[in-house]
Structures are given as C-alpha cells and as structure tokens.
Structure 1
Amino acid sequence: MAELLLLPGAGGDPWYWHLVVARLEGRGHTAVAVDLPAGQEDAGLREYADVAVRAAEGLREVVLVAQSLGAFTAAMVAPRLPVRALAFVNGMIPLPGETPGQWWSATGHAEAQAAARGEHDAAEDFTHDLPPSVVRAMHDRQRDQSAAAFASACTFDTWPRVPIHALVGAEDRFFPAAFQQRLCRTRLGIEPVVVPGGHAIALSQPGAVAGWLDLVGRA
C-alpha cells in the first residue's frame, strides 16, 4: 500500500484532507495530512517545507500530494524526501525561483478567472459545490494565511524524475479548468485528469479524489 503525504493549500489546515484521509486509510494506505504554519508571520516556504519533512518521518516511499498553494511547498519538499510520485490537486504549479505572489500575474490568472467566472459571485469561488454543513465547518475553522509565504521564493531546481500527476476540478471557479490544463501542459508537460468538483474538491468530491489517489498510489 502507498504512503501519502498530503499538503493543504492556503490556511495550512490539515482538516481539508480529512474526508480523503479516511477513505485512503479504508483502502489500506497510510495518509498523513500536514499542519502547515500558515498563520505565523515569520514562516515562509522554507519553514513550511521543514514542517512537511518532519511530518514525513518514518515514511519510506512517499506519494507527495499538494492542494492549491501547497504545490509551492511540494516543490521544496520533493528533493528532501524519498518521493516516488507527485500528485497535484487544483495545484498552483510553480516555476523554480518564483514566489507565490509573482505566480498570479505570471500565469495570467486574473484574466483566465474573469473569463471563466461569468455571472458567478466571487464570494462563492471556494464553496459553491460544498454541502451547507461543510461550508459551516470551513467558516468555523477559517485560518489566516500570512503574507510571508507569498513573498518567499520557491527554491528548487527541477521536478524529480518520478511520475507526476494532476487532478483538476471541472467546476473550479478559482483556478478554472482550462487555465489549470494549460499550466499542467506548459509547466509540467503532463495532461491532467479532470473530474467534477470545485476548488475545494477534497471536501466536495472526497470519493473521487481518494479513488484517483488510490490509483496513483498503486501505480
């Protein structure tokens, strides 16, 4: 069975993965969701990577999974662990030396989002496909995301020579599917898998995400 290390996005809350973790463990996998120090004003990507590496202690062949902003941490963690595969979920795919703050304009995110959003309310970009109970839980658990991470450079040279996978939510209003597909092709050289779901797809479609990660972990 696979050993999966799961990195959350902005806010750093491992709760984001809890429904997927339960399903992965039910299939016999080891799944560790990392609690990133997103609320610490002096914590940048290097500190995030240190926390993730410590959380992986004891794991021998890691499937490194990253949601959204977590992709920046994954790039810095991958050279430090025995990673056998990478998996991005609605990932904010970085280039070497790029900061998360630079990523938005470098990728043309604002234009892509405006073109895809149409009449949708921006306030619902993260929650439009979630059950009301999950939306309430998200609001109750809302964490601040410090600016330090967005100003720190993603210091990696290249992606490891391991299989790289990407999952895209077809209804993601924050990172539209066509935008993500373009990033995966140009920055990773891969074609992502597209499934129903929005940006918080691990909460809206945990079965689909866990099933995909099960396949990634068994490959």
Structure 2
Amino acid sequence: MATFALIHGGGGTSWPWRPLETCLRGRGHRTVAVDLPLDDPEAGLADYADHVIAEVRKSVGHLDGLVVVAHSWGGFVAPIVCDRAKADLLVLLAGMVPAPGEPPADWWANSGFGDKDIDDPVALFMHDVPADLAAEALRHGRGHAEKALVEPWPLDKWPDVPTRYLLCRDDRWFPPEFVRPMVRERLGIEPDEIGGSHSVMLSRPEELADRLAGYL
C-alpha cells in the first residue's frame, strides 16, 4: 500500500483529483489531495511543501511509502516535498520541471514555452473532459499570491528520489513536442506517455490510476 500525495497546478484546488482518488483507493492505496495555500501572500514554495507534508501527516500519521504526484505548476512544489519527506517516488504529470534558483515566473521563457492565449480554457485544458466536470473544475479555480511565483526555486539540485515524467499525448497546453525535449534537458530522462488532455485526472482517471500504480 502506498500513500499518494496529490499536488494540483497553479490556480487550482484538490477538487479535480477526486475521480483519481476513488480509483487509487479502489486499488488499495491511500490518497491525500492537498489544497496549496495559494492565497496566502506570505507563503513561499517551501511553505507550500511544508503544508503538503503536514496534510499527509494529519491524514495518514506518517510518511512511509510516500509517492508524490504533481500536476503542471505543482512541479515546483513536489521536489521540495520529496527532499524534505524522503519520498519513495516522484511523478510529474504534465508538470513543470524547475531548475535550481529559477523563479516559476521565469520558467515560461527559460523553458522555451512561449506565449499562448487562454480565451477558451476548456478547449485548451479540458477538451476531453465531460462538460459538467469541466464546468465544475472552472468553478474551483483560484487566484495565486505573488510570492511563490517570483521567488527562486530553493533547491540546489534535483532531490535524490526516483522520478518519472508522464506527459499527456493530447495536451494542448504542454504539447508532447514541447515536453519531450524539456524533460530530456532538465531531468535527463525520457518521459512516459498517456492519452488525454492536460486534465487527464478528470478525463481518464482509471487509466491514470493504473499507470501510477504500475510505477510501484
């Protein structure tokens, strides 16, 4: 049995993890989906990581068998959690991969991401998600205080934890042709692949649960 700590992306909440939590628990695992303190103007990236660890301890009572799964912007938080909690595994799901000292706000230019319009967030992030779930996910969106966006990423190297990257083949936000070279350059590994959009936890929770459990 593993404990999956699930970290959402920027401007999000733990809500979109619910279908995946049901699937992972049905496979005998524990899950802790965390709401990062995005609206706290005093909270930085290390505070976010401490919050994740505290929520896991509160829910489970220990950090044994910890698997940290980070979606999108959550990639800036998850490695800090792994470094502090000595996690067993880190999985970046369509995640941003930070470099030492890199502020999240600088990642977009540094990684070669470029600019994109977000006129239709459903079409961009959730084009394969059922309409009712997509609408509910949008209702759970939040603002993001500035501190954690502009401060340097605090680790001086990637944590000593087995790391997997799972890209989404139908992702219109982080398309595969962008992700593959970014992951090779920053992590030195080949990303794994799953079908689905940027919000694969809502569109394909059973398949995603199989992939995550398979990493164990």
What's the CA shift for 1:62?
Answer: 1.1
What's the CA shift for 1:186?
Answer: 0.9
1:92 maps to 96
Q: Is the 8 A contact 2:197 2:203 kept in 1?
A: yes
1:32 maps to 32
Is residue 75 of structure 1 aligned with residue 79 of structure 2? yes
1:54 maps to 54
User: Matched residue of 1:208: which SS?
Assistant: helix
User: Matched residue of 1:213: which SS?
Assistant: helix
Gaps of 5+ in 2: none
User: Matched residue of 1:86: which SS?
Assistant: strand
Q: Is the 8 A contact 2:83 2:160 kept in 1?
A: no
Change (3 A) 1:9 1:92: same
Q: Is the 8 A contact 1:95 1:187 kept in 2?
A: yes
What's the CA shift for 1:6?
Answer: 1.0
Aligned residues: 211
Gaps of 5+ in 1: 115-119
Runs of 4 or more, structure 1, over 4 Å off, are none
What's the CA shift for 1:78?
Answer: 1.4
| Residue pairs, 1:1-219, within 5 angstroms | 1-57=1-57, 58-110=62-114, 123=121, 124-216=123-215, 218=216
Q: Which amino acid aligns with 2:125?
A: F
Post-superposition Cα deviations, 1:9-49, rounded to whole Å, max 9, x if no partner, equal 11241112111111000000111111101122332212211
Report the Cα distance in structure 1 between the residues aligned to 2:73 and 2:18, rounded to whole angstroms: 18
Q: Which amino acid aligns with 2:141?
A: Q
User: Matched residue of 1:69: which SS?
Assistant: helix
Q: Which amino acid aligns with 1:71?
A: G
Post-superposition Cα deviations, 1:43-102, rounded to whole Å, max 9, x if no partner, equal 221221120121121121211111001010012211110211110000011011111101
TM-score, normalised with respect to structure 1: 0.90
Post-superposition Cα deviations, 1:103-126, rounded to whole Å, max 9, x if no partner, equal 000011016x69xxxxx9654211
- The root-mean-square deviation of aligned C-alpha atoms, in Å, is 1.8
Post-superposition Cα deviations, 1:179-217, rounded to whole Å, max 9, x if no partner, equal 11112111111111111111111111111211111111x
Which segment is superposed worse, 120-129 or 150-159?
A: 120-129
Q: Is the 8 A contact 2:86 2:161 kept in 1?
A: no
TM-score, normalised with respect to structure 2: 0.91
What's the CA shift for 1:165?
Answer: 0.6
Report the Cα distance in structure 2 between the residues aligned to 1:159 and 1:205, rounded to whole angstroms: 29
